[in-house]
C-alpha cells in the first residue's frame, strides 16, 4: 500500500526493519498522518530513520530530514535524563526529601516529600495558587520563590495526580540547586546530553534555529476529539475548577510554548512540555540510556533504578487529574502499564499530547522516537505510534542485528 502522491517518505531502514517503513507509509493512507518522523536504534545501531509528509499544513511545505517539532509532554523524558545524570554523579538521592537540596521547599507541609514522590507525580503539586506567566517562567529566581511556597492540593505520597506542567519547573529548580555550576535544566541538558551526543533537540530553543526548520502543529478535529478522549476527562478539561484544568490549562498554560512570530517560544524553558527536536535526536538519547549510558556517564546503579517497576502511592495508581487507573510514573519517566504498554517491563520513556513518544528499552537495547505535525485525539497510545512500535518489535527477534547492516533508502 502506498501513501498519497502528495506525500514523500524518505530516509533509511536496515535490512529486516522494512515493516516499520511500511507502517509509516500506511499511517498516511489509513491513520490520517500529515507529516512526521520515526527513528529507532537497536543495540546502538540506527536501524530506522524515516520522515515524510507535510510540516506546515498552511504552506504545504514538506517534512525535511532536519525538521524539528514540539513534543509536548514527551519533554518530560528528556528532563528526567538530567536528574538521572545528577544521580550518577552523586549529587542526588531519589529517596531523600527534596528539602535536603532545596531548604525553602519545606514550606507549607512539603518537608517530607521525597525526590521519588515528586518525580512520580505524587507530591500534590500539580497546580499553582498564584499567577505564573511567561515573564515569571523566564525569571527562575522569582519562579523558585513561588514554587517553594506552594501548598500541596493533595496529601503527599497518598495519591497520583499528573503534574502536567508544574513538574518540570520543580525539576529545574532542584537541578539548579544540586549542580555545582547552578545551570538551568535546559542549559544542563544541552551541555551534558545534547551537545556531547550531537543531538538536534532542545528544552530551551535558541534564536539561532530558523522557523523553516520547525513544523507547525495541526490540532485534531472536534469530532475526533469527542471520540478519542474519555468523556469525563473532556468535561473536566472545560471546568476551571477541575484538577486537570488547573494542571494543564490554567497558568502558565500549555500555550506558553507557542509563538505566533517564531512558531515556538525561544530562550524559554518549560521542561514538562516545551521540548523541540527531531525523532532522530530523541531516539539517539534514549538509545544511549538503553545501552549502558557510558557516553553521558551513567552508573549501572542509576540505570537499574530507571528500569525498576514504578512505586505506587499509598492509595494506588488512580490519577486524580487524568481520572483513570493504570498510568504509572517513576523517576520522571512513564513506565509500561496495562493502560499504556510499550517495550518490555524495564522500559521507560514519555509520551506527548498529540502522539509524540520516545522511550528506552534496556532489555531489547532499543531507543525509539516518533514525532508528528498532526496531533491525534487519543490520550494514550496514538494509533500511528502503536503501529510503528508493533512493526519495530515484530522485527527485533527476526535476525541477529549484525546481519542487518545493509539496508534500503526510502524514496
pLDDT recorded at residue 248? 86
174 or 225, which is more confident? 174
What mean pLDDT do residues 7-28 have?
Answer: 95
Q: Cis peptide leading into 301, omega within 30 of 0?
A: no
Q: Tell me, what's the pLDDT at 405?
A: 45
d(CA 109, CA 136): 24
Q: Which one is predicted more confidently, 8 or 334?
A: 334
Q: Distance (Å, rounded) from C-alpha 154 to C-alpha 123? A: 7
| Lowest model confidence (mean pLDDT) among 94-98, 283-287, 356-360, 380-384 | 380-384
Strand order in the sheet with 69-70: 69-70, 276-277, 201-202
Q: Is 138 helix (H, G, I), strand (E, B) or coil?
A: helix
pTM (2 d.p.): 0.94
Tell me the pLDDT of the chain averaged across its residues.
Answer: 92
Q: What is the pLDDT of residues 70-89, one digit of tens each?
A: 999 999 999 999 999 999 99
**Cα 407 from Cα 410, distance rounded (Å):** 10
Exposure pattern of 10-35 as b/e (b: 16+ CB <10 Å)? bbbbbebbbbbbebbbbbbeebebbb
For residue 306, what pLDDT band results from cuts at 50, 70 and 90?
A: very high
pLDDT of residue 3: 43
Residue 158: Cβ within 10 Å count:
15
Region 116-120: mean pLDDT is 98
So what's the pLDDT on residue 312? Answer: 97
Residues in a beta bridge with 56: 61
Q: State the DSSP code for 295.
A: G
3 state DSSP class of 371: strand
CA angle 117, 385, 340 (to 5 degrees): 35
* Range 19-44 average pLDDT: 97
pLDDT for residue 214: 98
Cα(394)–Cα(400) distance, integer angstroms: 13
pLDDT score recorded for residue 366:
98
- Distance in angstroms (rounded) separating the CA atoms of residues 376 and 31: 9
Is pLDDT at 229 greater than 80 in this prediction? Answer: no
What is the model's pLDDT at position 249? 84
135 or 238, greater pLDDT: 135
Lowest mean pLDDT, pick from 22-26, 37-41, 224-228, 301-305: 224-228
Residue 235 confidence (pLDDT) above 80: no
CB 98 within 8 A of CB 174: yes
End-to-end CA distance of the chain: 15
Query: What pLDDT digit, counting tens, does each position of 382-400 carry?
Result: 999 999 999 999 998 765 5
Instruction: Tell me: pLDDT of 315 over 60.
Output: yes
Report the C-alpha gap between 150 and 303 in whole angstroms: 32
Burial of 43 from C-beta contacts in 10 A (0-12 / 13-18 / 19+): middle
Alpha carbon 60 to chain centroid, angstroms:
27
Greater model confidence, 320 or 406:
320
253 pLDDT band (50/70/90 cuts)? Answer: confident
Q: How many CB atoms lie within 10 A of CB 402?
A: 8
Averaged over 145-162, what is the pLDDT?
Answer: 97
Mean pLDDT value of segment 284-288: 98
- What is the mean pLDDT of the segment spanning 137-166? 97
Q: Exposed, middle or buried, 347 (CB in 10 Å: 0-12/13-18/19+)?
A: buried
Amino acid at each position: 500500500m502506498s501513501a498519497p502522491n502528495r506525500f514523500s517518505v524518505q530516509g533509511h531502514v536496515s535490512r529486516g526493519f522494512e515493516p516499520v517503513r511500511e507502517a509509516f507509509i500506511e499511517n498516511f493512507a489509513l491513520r490520517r498522518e500529515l507529516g512526521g518522523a520515526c527513528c529507532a536504534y537497536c543495540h546502538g545501531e540506527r536501524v530506522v530513520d524515516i520522515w515524510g509528509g507535510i510540516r506546515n499544513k498552511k504552506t504545504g511545505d514538506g517534512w525535511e530530514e532536519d525538521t524539528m517539532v514540539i513534543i509536548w509532554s514527551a519533554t518530560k523524558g528528556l528532563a528526567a535524563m538530567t536528574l538521572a545524570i545528577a544521580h550518577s554523579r552523586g549529587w542526588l538521592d531519589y529517596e531523600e526529601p527534596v528539602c535536603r537540596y532545596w531548604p525553602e521547599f519545606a514550606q507549607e507541609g512539603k518537608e517530607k516529600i521525597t525526590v521519588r514522590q515528586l518525580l512520580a507525580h505524587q507530591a500534590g503539586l500539580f497546580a499553582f495558587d498564584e499567577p505564573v506567566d511567561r515573564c515569571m517562567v523566564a525569571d527562575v529566581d522569582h519562579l523558585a520563590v513561588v514554587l517553594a511556597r506552594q501548598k500541596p492540593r493533595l496529601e503527599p505520597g497518598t495519591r497520583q495526580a499528573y503534574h502536567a506542567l508544574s513538574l518540570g519547573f520543580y525539576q529545574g529548580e532542584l537541578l539548579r540547586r544540586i549542580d555545582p555550576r547552578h545551570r538551568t535544566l535546559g542549559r544542563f541538558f544541552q551541555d551534558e546530553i545534547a551537545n556531547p551526543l550531537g543531538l538536534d533537540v532542545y528544552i530551551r530553543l535558541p534564536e539561532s534555529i530558523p522557523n523553516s526548520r520547525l513544523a507547525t502543529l495541526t490540532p485534531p478535529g472536534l469530532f475526533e476529539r469527542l471520540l478519542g478522549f474519555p468523556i469525563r476527562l473532556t468535561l473536566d478539561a472545560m471546568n476551571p475548577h477541575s484538577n486537570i484544568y488547573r494542571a494543564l490549562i490554567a497558568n502558565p498554560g500549555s500555550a506558553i510554548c507557542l509563538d505566533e512570530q517564531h512558531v515556538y517560544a525561544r530562550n524559554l524553558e518549560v521542561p514538562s512540555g516545551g521540548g523541540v527536536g527531531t525523532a532522530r535526536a530523541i531516539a539517539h538519547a534514549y538509545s544511549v540510556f538503553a545501552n549502558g549510558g557510558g557516553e553521558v556517564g551513567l552508573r549501572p546503579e542509576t540505570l537499574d533504578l530507571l528500569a525498576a517497576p514504578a512505586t505506587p502511592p499509598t492509595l494506588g495508581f488512580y490519577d486524580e487529574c487524568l481520572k483513570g487507573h493504570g498510568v504509572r510514573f517513576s523517576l520522571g519517566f512513564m513506565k509500561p502499564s496495562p493502560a499504556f504498554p510499550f517495550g518490555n517491563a524495564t522500559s521507560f520513556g514519555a509520551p506527548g499530547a498529540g502522539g509524540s513518544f520516545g522511550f528506552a528499552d534496556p532489555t531489547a537495547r532499543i531507543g525509539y522516537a516518533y514525532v508528528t505535525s498532526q496531533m491525534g485525539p487519543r490520550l494514550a497510545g496514538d494509533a500511528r505510534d502503536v503501529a510503528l512500535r508493533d512493526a519495530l518489535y515484530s522485527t527485533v527477534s527476526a535476525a541477529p542485528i549484525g546481519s542487518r547492516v545493509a539496508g534500503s533508502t526510502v524514496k
